[in-house]
Structure 1
Amino acid sequence: MNLQTILGNFALILFVLMVVTGVIWFLDVFYLAKQRRAAADRALAEYDAHLARQTSNGIVGDGSPAKRAKIEADLLRQPTWVEYSGSFFPVIALVFCLRSFLYEPFKIPSSSMVPTLLVGDLILVNKFTYGIRLPILNQKVVQLNDPQRGDVMVFKYPKDMSQDYIKRVIGVPGDKITYENKRLTVNGKAIEYTALDDYLDDENNERLVYKKQFKENLSGVDHRILNDERAANINLGDVREFPHSDACTYRYEGFTCVVPEGNYFMMGDNRDNSADSRYWGFVPDKNIVGKAFFVWMNLGNPKRIGSIH
């Protein structure tokens, strides 16, 4: 695992911090604190003996409770590195557990899911919808639900596991997906499309572009998609070799793929501006991170807050 992968894996960083601070916290509770207590008891006993000798020699020493308490407090005080570790450990452990098993925040970096998700959207991903997985290893240990067509899902990019991608589930294992002239057919059934007003795509700061907008009904899930009339049905030159590529047939008008067992076919809602399963292949179940369900903030557009459709 190279340095870039480690730095890009926030969960791994959290895990290492949790282990380090946890070890220090437990070491302090079960060993270091007892050592400090023993040292304080010895020092106080010596102090009391010293005062006793002074008194026997007719010397009045400073035996006030405040003086004694100060000596004890100084010796019982935690070293700075132990104090900070003990303070951070429960916080880090809580954040690690929340991100690993419940909800994880992500920021949308590209326009591939426009108009559903915009660049800068801060979203929450449900980590347990599709089963409970071990942190770091991403190994499923408890099976709950399977991804369904229409879900917006976060997953590890098959070509680079250090990158998280977000797309919509188009095909589940066994599905026959046909994309022809920018229209989907799933298992021989044409998907319903309803024309909407053109969408002003202003994600490109250099120019404003109007794109055709449709409501797509995918297995009962309504969502909006965009088509760019100027773009080709599929850019065959961008298609790369990928596992199970023999399950797909490409042509100028589009393609047909049969989704292998244990894999999913993903596409962006901004259909002509999305690098997805059409170009780099299927997403294995082991790559799944979770289901995106809520936009909790967009610093440039606070009105974006709400559920994801």
Structure 2
Amino acid sequence: MNQEGKSFKRKSWIAAIMGMSMPGMGQIYNRELLKGMSIFVIFMALIATGFRLSVYLPDRLVIVGVTLTLAIVVTVYVFSIIEAYRKHYKQEGEYILKPYNRWYFYIAVWMLGSVLITGFVYNYTRDNIIHVYKIATKGMEPAILRGDRVLVDKTAYRRMPPKRGDIIIFVYPDDRSKVYIRRIAGLPGDMIKLEGGREVIVPHGAVYVLGDNKQNSEDSSKFGFIPLKDVVGKARQVWYSYGVDGMRWSRVGHTFG
């Protein structure tokens, strides 16, 4: 049955709920397809651009860039909900459906948007730009504590070569489903003196890593060199930290330089 051209009662609360489900959906419900699509595109662009710019900041400011990006993104999201509700509320009454004001169109748009936000923006950002890792061991204490949530820059070694002293996340060689965090102690060509006095040279395309907590650290002295291709990223700053004693506010923003 074709409902186009028929009058329907406006429901402001539906516009708000639609907006909560995805940025721009409330505007589409309000028959503002272009505005809704624009809000959605702006929302995605802010996430990708904001996090991308954040990794170019000095270490001490990475958390500022990430926090500012999240604040702007949340503001756009809340604005889209309020704007959809207010627009609908001011014009409450009967209205004529647009061709796209159909339940199946809403579902299709929501599904496509979910794929774009989750599959493209979130996953791409997590895998290629920046991600937060929870530290579950004591191998890097006192520099990094168990319970720290660390901002890891996935672009660092696409922009610059690794340096001795860098704290890196890498794929654990004995179980590739896990990642470890350790400090680079040797670069390709470096001579490393092992326990017992034996010396080895770090091979091309690899690094030698050690934990700061030498009494409680599994590192290259046990599992060998780490291929550079298995380095996930560089630890830049503590996002926040939570231990058995609760939130550790003094750790927020801590850097490792």
Matched, 1:288 2:226: no
Partner Cα distance (1:275, 1:81) in 2: 49
> After superposition, what is the alpha-carbon deviation per residue over 1:192-242, rounded to whole angstroms, capped at 9, x for unaligned?
xxxxxxxxxxxxxxxxxxxxxxxxxxxxxxxxxxxxxxxxxxxxxxxxxxx
Match in the other structure for 2:249: 302
Q: What is the aligned-residue RMSD (CA, Å)? A: 2.5
Structure 1: any 5+ residue segments left out of the alignment?
A: 1-65, 132-143, 181-250
Partner Cα distance (1:283, 1:81) in 2: 46
Matched, 1:84 2:99: no
Structure 2: any 5+ residue segments left out of the alignment?
A: 1-93
State the 1:177 CA deviation: 0.8
The amino acid across from 2:228 in the alignment is D
TM-score normalized with structure 2 length: 0.56
Matched, 1:108 2:169: no
Fraction of identical pairs, as percent: 33
In the TM superposition, 1:233-244 aligns within 5 A as: none
- Count of matched residue pairs: 160
> After superposition, what is the alpha-carbon deviation per residue over 1:235-287, rounded to whole angstroms, capped at 9, x for unaligned?
xxxxxxxxxxxxxxxx3xx5422111111100000011101100111000110
TM-score normalized with structure 1 length: 0.47
Tell whether the 8 Å contact from 2:208 to 2:225 is kept in structure 1 after alignment: yes
Partner Cα distance (1:287, 1:73) in 2: 48
Q: Closer, same or farther in 2 for the Cα pair 1:71/1:122, shift >3 Å? A: closer
Runs of 4+ in 1 over 2 A off after TM superposition: 69-74, 76-84, 254-257
The amino acid across from 2:135 in the alignment is I
Normalized per residue, which structure has more helix? 2
Partner Cα distance (2:225, 2:153) in 1: 21
Q: Which has the larger radius of gyration?
A: 1
Partner Cα distance (2:199, 2:213) in 1: 19
Partner Cα distance (2:110, 2:163) in 1: 45
Match in the other structure for 1:7: none
Matched, 1:256 2:199: yes
> After superposition, what is the alpha-carbon deviation per residue over 1:79-108, rounded to whole angstroms, capped at 9, x for unaligned?
665243134234222222322332111111
Partner Cα distance (1:266, 1:107) in 2: 19
Partner Cα distance (2:207, 2:227) in 1: 6
Match in the other structure for 1:122: 149
Partner Cα distance (2:198, 2:144) in 1: 26
SS at match of 2:115: helix
Normalized per residue, which structure has more strand? 1
In the TM superposition, 1:1-309 aligns within 5 A as: 69=96, 76-78=102-104, 81-92=107-118, 93-131=120-158, 144-179=159-194, 251=196, 255-299=198-242, 300-305=247-252, 306-309=254-257
The amino acid across from 1:91 in the alignment is I
Q: Closer, same or farther in 2 for the Cα pair 1:179/1:71, shift >3 Å? A: closer
